[in-house]
Chains A and B, each alone.
Chain A
């Protein structure tokens, strides 16, 4: 079974995003960029499926600027087999990304699309569900455990109030939640090997998909800041202040 893993290059997890003074967006100039953490978890899971013999090939796809090639290399160093880079100068909306991925799926015919539940820049949490709907494939989002059994996958999901296990027919779209696994660090030999792995170079235009934006960003602003309050001396002092504030 071939597994397709879409990955996104985003602002590094540990960097605080700063809003541009002209309110047009977040300043990404000279900011450290990395693979979206949820995508990393998806790559790790796909590689583990291959190591267990449940997957035969792990194909990494990324849609973004030319530098997204580095994100694909990172995934290849973790154990992906080959990559597809679809360059786009514009930051595409989830609907456009889902349509492009649908076109990639038509070409690649994977048995499973495994991807992160959410990118930490747009925080939409939408592409996996939308891709599944466009393909009319079943979906299993927010996965914390995946077990491939023949023509279906048993997926444990993080839901409101606990865990739910679903059995979905393959092909399917599964999105990774935080506790699915802990991604590995690529070893130096694997980083060297990844440099020789093939990355197909494509552009959005190659897929003939309508990616026109549906949303106009009117402005991007900073949220109201909370100011630091007071330090209390003791637990008793704290209780009396909270009682006065009327929140106990």
Chain B
């Protein structure tokens, strides 16, 4: 059995989700290849070749692939699908965008967002915003699976796989117009060791920036937000942690002014240590927090900043 992992990358960098998906793939088979889709991705391919356990790296390039156009990504993968028994894709916004297309074209049922490999045909995946875990067994000969990166450890470097070029693909009916990426020196939310998240209690985008961002910067943390804060326009959607946003599992998750709706908990409850700061002692967030501070964030966050400074952080 051979497995193809499709790399998560932004043309310049190989993202950590790839290493984690390789870990899931290695549970299925020792024959794991990585497909890098993009444009000008030689650096990404070299990084993928260094992941321990990878047999070879395949590179497909085109303008459409460089812009992450799903039709092209699926077609490039489909051209190789005959050689593999399973195709694994990190369950990022980009991966979720094209993986189901591959499944549809192969006439197989996609298996979304797995958190555990039970056996070669049986997987565990969260449903109902993580309130239930479903164990499913696939009857399809070929499997198309998206992998929740936070559920698997990253495969370490140490390999030296060969790199081969394969044919790219285009998308005739879809044109890239523009993109607007959030520029930030902070670590990426999904991969950060510490995440500081703000909720609706912030009350405005200005307050969110004035309270949450300095604390995140002091800790070298990524910034997250609850869906309520995103819906209210206090934070960009890209910050959203939860069922409908990103799933994170950092070493330390600090929830500031977040009540702890089911859908938010689904996105962060696998964090190693959870801290909740909320003035409402009955907020559901305290039921999952390792350390709870019942206080108004307006005083608690400045106090925390001073305490961190005093502790030499």
Contact = CB atoms under 8 A, between A and B. Distances in A.
Nearest to B236: A162
Nearest to A234: B303
Given A126-B112, A242-B275, A164 B128 contact: no
A94 B140 CA distance: 14
Interface residues of A, number: 79
A98 B131 contact: no
A106 interface: no
Interface in B279-313: 286-294, 300, 303-304, 306-308, 310-311, 313
Interface residues of B, number: 94
B100 A94 contact: yes
Contacts of B213: none
B117 interface: no
A95 B104 contact: yes
A95 to B, nearest CB: 5
Contacts of B109: 93-95, 213-215
Interface string B245-280: 000000110000000001100000100111100000
A162 B236 CA distance: 8
Interface stretch (A45-53, A65-73, A80-88, A132-140): A132-140
Chain B residues touching A, majority SS: mixed
A242 B181 CA distance: 33
Given A118-B244, A159-B68, A228 B131 contact: no
A248 B139 contact: no
B136 interface: yes
A30 interface: no
Interface in A201-245: 213-223, 226, 228-232, 234-236, 238-243, 245
Given A214-B139, A220-B135, 7 more contacts: A26-B132, A126-B99, A132-B101, A138-B174, A158-B237, A229-B289, A245-B290
Contacts of A132: 101
A121 interface: yes
Given A164-B179, A223-B130, A238 B307 contact: yes
B304 A162 contact: no
Nearest to A178: B244
A242 B291 contact: yes
B104 A167 contact: no
A150 interface: no
16 contacts: A17-B131, A26-B128, A93-B109, A95-B109, A98-B104, A118-B244, A125-B96, A125-B113, A160-B8, A161-B188, A177-B237, A214-B138, A218-B135, A218-B137, A222-B131, A238-B275
A186 interface: no
B74 interface: yes
Contacts of A235: 293, 300, 303-304, 306-307
B230 A179 contact: yes
A16 B303 contact: no
A166 B128 contact: no
A123 B231 contact: no
A168 B72 CA distance: 13
Interface string B81-110: 000000000001110111111111101111
B112 A123 contact: yes
B288 to A, nearest CB: 4
Contacts of B272: 247
Nearest to B131: A17
Interface in A139-184: 139-142, 144, 154, 158-169, 172, 177-179
Contacts of A120: 128-129, 243
Contacts of B251: 247
B289 A138 contact: no
A161 B230 contact: no
Interface of A: 11, 13, 16-19, 26, 93-95, 98, 118, 120-127, 129-134, 137-142, 144, 154, 158-169, 172, 177-179, 213-223, 226, 228-232, 234-236, 238-243, 245, 247-248
B262 to A, nearest CB: 6
B133 interface: yes
Interface in B137-161: 137-140
Interface string B164-206: 0000000101111111111000001000001000000000000
Contacts of A218: 122, 135-137
Contacts of A223: 126, 130-133, 269
A126 B110 CA distance: 8
A138 B137 CA distance: 31
B110 A160 contact: no
B235 to A, nearest CB: 11
Nearest to B108: A214
A158 B238 contact: yes
B269 A133 contact: no
